[in-house]
Amino acid sequence: MQSFFDPAILFFVFGILAGSLKSNLEIPPQISRFLSLYLLMALGLKGGFALAQSGMTTEVLISLGAALGMAILVPLLGYLTLRRFLNGFDAAAIAATYGSVSAVTFITAVQYLDTHGIDYGGHMAAAMALMESPAIVLAVVLANHARQKTTFANGPDASGSNNAPLGRILHEALTDGAQLLLLGAMLIGVLTGEAGQAAMKPFSVDLFKGMLAFFLLDMGLLAARNMGKLKGQSVWLLVYAIAGPMAHAGIALVLGWVLGMSSGNVALLMVLAASASYIAVPAVIRHAIPEANPSLYFGMSLGLTFPFNILIGIPLYVHVAKLYL
């Protein structure tokens, strides 16, 4: 329960309450975008400074390999599960959303570990960046396959022109501005080392907690406004929005245990596996898979999974990782 009294978490809860009361409180989009970029830049610098101290060790390579494995496994498992009660397009879009990651969830988890004095590797920020794109690519491939099956079933006159060009999708996924900023800041952190860390401390450390609280207030408002999109949806989708991430976190726990990862790194891997994208993936999927219903993948990720992970999931995953590792 101690995590609920963290100021950043309380601002998130306050945002949900204000949004539920239909308050006119809102954060201008430009400020929200600035806060998002600041948090990613600060996180990248922190990870880069840590990497400069530790170097590219075996533990780093193992963690990155585990992250890449989860980035492929989670969307495939999600698609196979969702395909039982959804069409191929919606199943692919939701699988991509839950196979990718939420940077804000990860940043909140990092702050939680710092607050509780739990060690973790700065390279896990690179793991987050590594996990963002594979799910998008897999979803586009699965959607293109679904279109081909539909075209075949409808006869030769059916159009297959909606197939998304994989090269363009890859370019969008790999050159996303937020992801590039994270990786660029990490590289700068590695190159500048201790001197850079001392110089950037007032920016990347002292301001971080307050900026995160401000951004989570905005996320609380946004989450409250998206909860209404879940009304009338299948109960199985609502179950998946909670049970799916917990199952993904369980797989990450087992994988981390097998690979001998530290409890802090496993906790972050669990958070990444359990998180769902609500910015990068929906933006790409909306154009790549126009047949999918945005209210499903966006409403589920932001209206249910994101609040669950922020309020309950992160403390739960950290506790379980410490308990079993």
CA 162, 167, 170: angle at the middle one, nearest 5? 105
What ranges do the domains of the chain cover?
27-324
CB atoms within 10 A of CB 21: 9
Report the pLDDT value the prediction gives residue 159, as an integer from 0 to 100.
Answer: 46
User: pLDDT by residue (tens digit) across 171-197?
Assistant: 666 666 777 888 899 899 999 999 999
The model's pLDDT over 239-254, given as tens digits with 9 standing for 90+, comes to: 999 999 999 999 999 9
Residue 99: which of 60, 145, 133 has the closest Cα?
133
pLDDT at 290: 86
Provide the CATH topology of domain 27-324: Na+/H+ antiporter like fold (1.20.1530)
Per-residue burial over 22-51, b = 16 or more CB atoms within 10 Å of its CB, e = otherwise: eeeeebeeeebeebbebbbbbbbbbbbbbb
How far is residue 320's CA from residue 308's CA, in Å, rounded to a whole number? 16
Rounded to an integer, the average pLDDT of 8-37 is: 92
pLDDT above 90 (res 129)? no
Ranges 1-15, 107-121, 185-199: which has the least confidence: 1-15
> Which residue is listed with tokens 């973790």?
120
Run of H or E including 202: helix 177-204
pLDDT (0 to 100) of residue 280 = 75
Q: What is the dihedral of CA 63, 65, 66, 70, to 10 degrees?
A: 140
Helix (H, G, I), strand (E, B) or coil at 158: coil
Radius of gyration for the alpha carbons in the chain, expressed in angstroms and rounded: 19
pLDDT band for position 4 (cuts 50, 70, 90): low
Class of residue 1 by CB neighbours under 10 A (exposed 0-12, middle 13-18, buried 19+): exposed
Contact 105, 309 (CB under 8 A): yes
What are the CA-CA distances from residue 171 to residues 144, 161, 319, 325 (Å)? 17, 20, 38, 38
pLDDT of 143: 84
- 260 by DSSP, 3-state: which? coil
Q: Are 113 and 36 in contact (CB under 8 A)?
A: no
132-168 confidence digits (pLDDT tens) = 888 888 888 888 877 877 665 565 554 445 665 666 6
